[in-house]
Structure 1
Amino acid sequence: MKIISAPSPLGLWANVRSVGAFNVAYSFVALWAFVKVLRALRWRLKTTQLRGPPRTSIIYGVSYDLALSQDRGRMYERWATEYGVAYMIPSVLGQTRIVLCDPRAIAHFYARETWTYVQTPLSLALLETSMGRGLLWSQGEDHRRQRKALTPAFSNAAIRKLTSVFYDSAYKVKGAWDTAIESSKDGDAVIEVQNWMNHVSLDTVGIAGFSHDFGSLDGKRTSVTEMFDSTFRANQQSSAVNRVFILFASAFPIITKIPTKRMNMFKNFGVIMGEISNDLLTRSRREKDMNMSGGDEEKSIIGLLVKSEGQDAELHMSKEEVVAQIPDILQMKVLLLAGYETTSISLTWALIELSRHPDVQTSLREELLAFGADPTYDQLKANLLYLDAVVHEVLRLHPPVNEFNRLAAADDVIPLSEPVRTKSGEMTDSISIAKGTSITVSSAAINRSSAIWGPDAKEFKPDRWLTEDGISEKAKEVQGHRHLLTFVDGPRTCLGKDFALTEFKTVLSVLVKNFVFEMRDGPDTPVEIVRGILPRPRVVGEDGIGVPLRIRRYE
């Protein structure tokens, strides 16, 4: 007879515990799924269901197509032509985004940013990891308070005092290029200009913002330049993996907590920025303590931040906020994006476009030479109309940041300037937005839209800025600086806009007045977009971010 022993009390209890743990886990999963279903039903009921392109991938929707595209703005514009000024696009794992291509809708959207429309969880995670909880990361009242504390450093009076710094950097470039041309037998030299524009912007930000000379124009290697180079190489070496990582992280931001190579890169970026911030902050505090006798009101960025630490300051910021802000401003939001990216990218595009259009380059040089001496800050703003036209045409065609994605933090109704057809076939002149809806605005699409700017919207034509009818009535409906979304609009309008424009005009005026630029391989040389921190131009066939131009002195 087979004897079956009774289970031990400990074994029985272990089984009960395992079953209990399974039930708890199952309950949590069921609850999570139930909440997701409820949210999806609510979103579908409260959000106007719009037409849009079909998904090209079950997993990615159309997101992977956008990630691979050399010109996302053109894709968004094509869809707007087919589906109307507001439409839906399928995104990762069944998600949906609403794209706005209508000036009235975009004005409504930007007016409510940081409150009704906020950063996506993915953006917040990446910003916090790499840059801290500074101005870029903050929302609502925190953003308003921090921005108000920083605004005086970007006033006309403050930028006027910094114009000489911009000229100093521009003339350092001139001196280096003169030397390169003198050593050439042919009276010209092939110079890779994008790295030079990086150095100009970085040194300018360092001196004007923090009274710190990074010395990159003098050939010094810094942690910032090394970090940029390593970041770009890492992005290029694993671009396909990076795209997939970001696409899935948009659906599951928790993925950013996984210690992947890319996330470690973001963390290292944050560590280096923190070291630079602490060094600048310590030095500024020391100088403040040594100069207690008063003097001129402090207008430098770092000086303003140190001042804001005082307990008696009207707009007090915590030590953590102060440390986060030091690399997180100057148009510039962060030292790298500002000093290395946005302005240097725009300057590079300006030299490319002038090389492609020698007639425009000649007209600009004639205006600058006729003016004579280096223009002052006020003259740069008001007296050089063709320089202003060239600068804004570059910013129109090549905005450094191509698109913005936000999340609705509350239900809303967005008005449209023209009706669109919904999925059900009805026409509507407004769209309902449910809390949790993803919204996309493409600055590149709006800046270059043929429907908004006319049939020559894709052409480089600075003359459009010089006549009253050069800007179409539809373009004038775009509420942004000079009817562009390059500096966005609303509460997050670029704080360093005037700084960036003055630096742009100063550097360009010195270079164009002294040198003639040509594409090394002719005006039809193809240029592609490569993705680093931000999209950058590169001559096809070059390594890294190479933009080699043939440069000679203007005699």
Structure 2
Amino acid sequence: MLLDIEALTRKLQHVGMKDVGIAVASVFAYLLLRRAFRRRTTPLKGPSSNNFFFGVVPELMEAPDSGVIHEGWAYVYGSVFTIPHLVGSKAVILTDPKAIQHFFSRETYGYVQTPNSKRFLEKLLGRGLFWAEGDSHKRQRRALNPAFSNASIKDLTPIFYDSAYKAKAIWDRLIDGNPEGAIIEVQQWMNHVSLDTIGLAGFSHDFETLSGKTSEVATAFDELGSTKPSSFQFAMFLLSLLFPILSKIPTGRRNSLARLGAAMRGMADKFINASGTAKEAEAANDKSVIGLLVKSASTEHITQEEVIAQINVLLLAGYETTAISLTWALIELSRHADIQDTLRAELVGAEGADPTWDEFTNGLPFLDAFTCEILRIHPPLFEIQRSAAEDDILPLSAPIQSATGRMVDNIFITKGTTVTVPIRCLNRSLEFWGPDAKEFKPDRWLNPSADPYKAQELQGYRHLLTFSDGARQCLGKGFALAEFKAVLSVLVRNYVFELPKGPDTEIGQHRNLLPRPKVAGEEGYSVPLRVRHYVAE
């Protein structure tokens, strides 16, 4: 630009000390000029905040529904806007379909994990798929691909049913002899179903939580979810965003996270030892996720550290997200008796005792519609936040007015800018899904071509961002969908679900690793439902 720093450095080797001051002043002037002339992120409209250090971050974290807040701001300030973020900075929020598509097309290279997320993921899970970027992410994902092919998931479907029937056997004993059924805390049971399933399907290991046994991993998950973070812990978390050294100060929640991380690493070591070498896994015909990963590790140059990290990723993702989605499914069935009846009629009327994987993929339209509506209304992950790894230009579907009053059809993003895609907002937006966007209506999926709203402009699975999109689209999407449908099909065919205090019972939110539903007034994330046998008329 104005000065070649490398050339100046070479020149300094040949000048006297009296010239050093001039040279240093020149460098300093160059840096100031470069900063002054460097293009900044396009000035955008957005809400204000009096909190210089944290901006609106506490407001969004403590809100019952951050998606509604984002949607309101988008209505007032435009499809792309900024919010006050950490230490006086601005985060850019995307609700424009074209900008979102561009963002996901550049994931892991142009947009990467924020420094805080990077530190947290490495500490909890290791340098696995969630942590990796760019070529490293592509290599790790390629190594995992065989484990999540359609053929592999089809082979694992009996395991999904096995976990569901184990839960059924215990529920039958709880209910038998009582025509009114029994009050069952279903979220804990969905945790057991999810953990035992990912253990068997992922690692050929049975945690046996459905049989009443426990393990360090199960105990650590339960401990983390049993209590709500205190005000002190919340304050320490916010401060650690500004001063990462504070994340080393032990709090109850951080101690629980540390125990969870240690438990997962311990299990990962056992799984690797049990799987052995690629040749041993091949000889044993191990079709679990870890077995297939071990087979591909050598060809994709996956290190043992990365294999351990993938196991941690699969344990966490396979447990947390599926348990949350299944719990929300049982809540919505309890809220809507008509929907429960319609779903049960379809499942009972299907040929054979259990639907096949092919039926999950190409049949049972109402089960598919119900599944999509759960994913739309209740995404486990509320938002995706990344940092721009380099300067970028985001295209827009339609021009917006900048903070200076100028109409712009693209947004310049400066390297280091925080960019957020608000999944919950977009999945439930009135603009994208119409006036009934906030309602739970599986029927909307039975005639999607008639939808005149903007949802079809969004990429992702079924125009939803629940599984993300682009390079980081959820690799276990097919696994999660098959498990969800298999477990739900067993439960709905055999039981009727009701909220003990009626369908209008308030459902709150419990902050865990991911937000979980809870019945208002209950301890932790408890969701007690009345469960009784279904008796065909």
Instruction: Please give the TM-score of this superposition, normalised by the length of structure 1.
Output: 0.87
Q: 2:199 aligns with which of 206, 221, 229?
A: 206
Tell me which residue corresponds to 2:237. 246
Q: For 1:258 and 1:41, how far apart are their aligned partners in 2?
A: 39
Change in Cα spacing, 1:286 to 1:398, as seen in structure 2 (3 Å) is same
Supply the AA of the counterpart residue of 1:204. Answer: T
Change in Cα spacing, 1:237 to 1:105, as seen in structure 2 (3 Å) is closer
Deviates more, 1:444-453 or 1:299-308: 299-308
| Within-5 A mapping of 1:142-291 | 142-184=136-178, 186-233=179-226, 236-238=228-230, 240-285=231-276, 289=280
Change in Cα spacing, 1:66 to 1:237, as seen in structure 2 (3 Å) is closer
Q: For 2:110 and 2:513, how far apart are their aligned partners in 1?
A: 27
Q: 2:442 aligns with which of 456, 459, 462?
A: 462
Cα RMSD over matched residues? 2.2
Q: 1:350 aligns with which of 329, 342, 346?
A: 329
Tell me which residue corresponds to 2:511. 531
**1:34 CA displacement:** 11
For 1:328-361, what per-residue CA distance to the aligned partner results, in whole angstroms no more than 9, with x for missing partners?
A: 23xxxxx13322x100100000111111111111
Q: For 2:397 and 2:193, how far apart are their aligned partners in 1?
A: 42
For 1:78-102, what per-residue CA distance to the aligned partner results, in whole angstroms no more than 9, with x for missing partners?
A: 0000000000000122121000011
Q: For 2:525 and 2:374, how far apart are their aligned partners in 1?
A: 19
**1:468 CA displacement:** 3.6
Tell me which residue corresponds to 1:77. 71
Supply the AA of the counterpart residue of 2:512. Answer: G
Q: For 1:327 and 1:237, how far apart are their aligned partners in 2?
A: 23
Change in Cα spacing, 1:37 to 1:131, as seen in structure 2 (3 Å) is farther
Supply the AA of the counterpart residue of 1:535. Answer: P
**1:173 CA displacement:** 1.4
Tell me which residue corresponds to 1:379. 359
**1:449 CA displacement:** 0.4
1:544 aligns with 2:524: yes
1:305 aligns with 2:329: no
Do 2:71 and 2:425's aligned partners in 1 also have CA atoms closer than 8 Å?
yes
Deviates more, 1:214-223 or 1:250-259: 250-259
Change in Cα spacing, 1:251 to 1:370, as seen in structure 2 (3 Å) is same
Change in Cα spacing, 1:392 to 1:424, as seen in structure 2 (3 Å) is same
1:326 aligns with 2:320: no
Structure 1, unmatched stretches of 5+, are 1-32, 330-334
1:87 aligns with 2:72: no
Give the SS at the match of 2:312: coil
For 1:205-234, what per-residue CA distance to the aligned partner results, in whole angstroms no more than 9, with x for missing partners?
A: 000111100001111121112111222345
Supply the AA of the counterpart residue of 1:124. Answer: K
Give the SS at the match of 1:326: helix
Do 1:51 and 1:423's aligned partners in 2 also have CA atoms closer than 8 Å?
yes
Supply the AA of the counterpart residue of 1:450. Answer: L
Do 2:157 and 2:483's aligned partners in 1 also have CA atoms closer than 8 Å?
yes
**1:545 CA displacement:** 1.1
**1:380 CA displacement:** 1.0
For 1:426-478, what per-residue CA distance to the aligned partner results, in whole angstroms no more than 9, with x for missing partners?
A: 11111000101000111000000001110100000000000144534410110
**1:421 CA displacement:** 1.2
Q: For 1:407 and 1:35, how far apart are their aligned partners in 2?
A: 26
Deviates more, 1:264-273 or 1:71-80: 264-273
Tell me which residue corresponds to 1:59. 53
Do 2:114 and 2:386's aligned partners in 1 also have CA atoms closer than 8 Å?
yes
**1:35 CA displacement:** 12
Change in Cα spacing, 1:34 to 1:353, as seen in structure 2 (3 Å) is farther
For 1:375-407, what per-residue CA distance to the aligned partner results, in whole angstroms no more than 9, with x for missing partners?
A: 110111111000000011001000000011100
Do 1:452 and 1:472's aligned partners in 2 also have CA atoms closer than 8 Å?
no
**1:146 CA displacement:** 0.5
Change in Cα spacing, 1:281 to 1:34, as seen in structure 2 (3 Å) is farther
Q: 2:369 aligns with which of 374, 389, 404?
A: 389
Supply the AA of the counterpart residue of 1:463. Answer: D
Do 1:464 and 1:470's aligned partners in 2 also have CA atoms closer than 8 Å?
no
1:404 aligns with 2:376: no
Give the SS at the match of 1:46: coil
**1:365 CA displacement:** 0.6
Tell me which residue corresponds to 1:494. 474
Do 2:182 and 2:531's aligned partners in 1 also have CA atoms closer than 8 Å?
yes
Deviates more, 1:345-354 or 1:372-381: 372-381
1:362 aligns with 2:337: no
Q: Tell me the percent identity.
A: 51
Supply the AA of the counterpart residue of 1:245. Answer: M
Tell me which residue corresponds to 1:27. none
Supply the AA of the counterpart residue of 1:84. Answer: G
Give the SS at the match of 1:190: strand
Q: For 2:490 and 2:30, how far apart are their aligned partners in 1?
A: 60
Change in Cα spacing, 1:469 to 1:552, as seen in structure 2 (3 Å) is same
Q: For 1:441 and 1:432, how far apart are their aligned partners in 2?
A: 16
For 1:8-51, what per-residue CA distance to the aligned partner results, in whole angstroms no more than 9, with x for missing partners?
A: xxxxxxxxxxxxxxxxxxxxxxxxx99998898577x4210100
Give the SS at the match of 1:520: coil
Q: For 1:221 and 1:264, how far apart are their aligned partners in 2?
A: 20
For 1:278-307, what per-residue CA distance to the aligned partner results, in whole angstroms no more than 9, with x for missing partners?
A: 011111118964x78x475x5421112322
Tell me which residue corresponds to 1:316. 301
Do 1:190 and 1:548's aligned partners in 2 also have CA atoms closer than 8 Å?
yes
Number of aligned residue pairs: give it.
507
Tell me which residue corresponds to 2:459. 479
Q: For 1:415 and 1:460, how far apart are their aligned partners in 2?
A: 32
Tell me which residue corresponds to 1:116. 110
Do 1:154 and 1:498's aligned partners in 2 also have CA atoms closer than 8 Å?
yes
Q: For 1:265 and 1:38, how far apart are their aligned partners in 2?
A: 48
Structure 2, unmatched stretches of 5+, are 1-27
Q: For 2:116 and 2:34, how far apart are their aligned partners in 1?
A: 19
For 1:132-175, what per-residue CA distance to the aligned partner results, in whole angstroms no more than 9, with x for missing partners?
A: 11111000000000000110100000000011001111111111
Q: For 1:279 and 1:180, how far apart are their aligned partners in 2?
A: 34
Give the SS at the match of 2:258: helix
Supply the AA of the counterpart residue of 1:221. Answer: T
Supply the AA of the counterpart residue of 1:364. Answer: L
Q: For 2:522 and 2:31, how far apart are their aligned partners in 1?
A: 48
Give the SS at the match of 2:276: helix
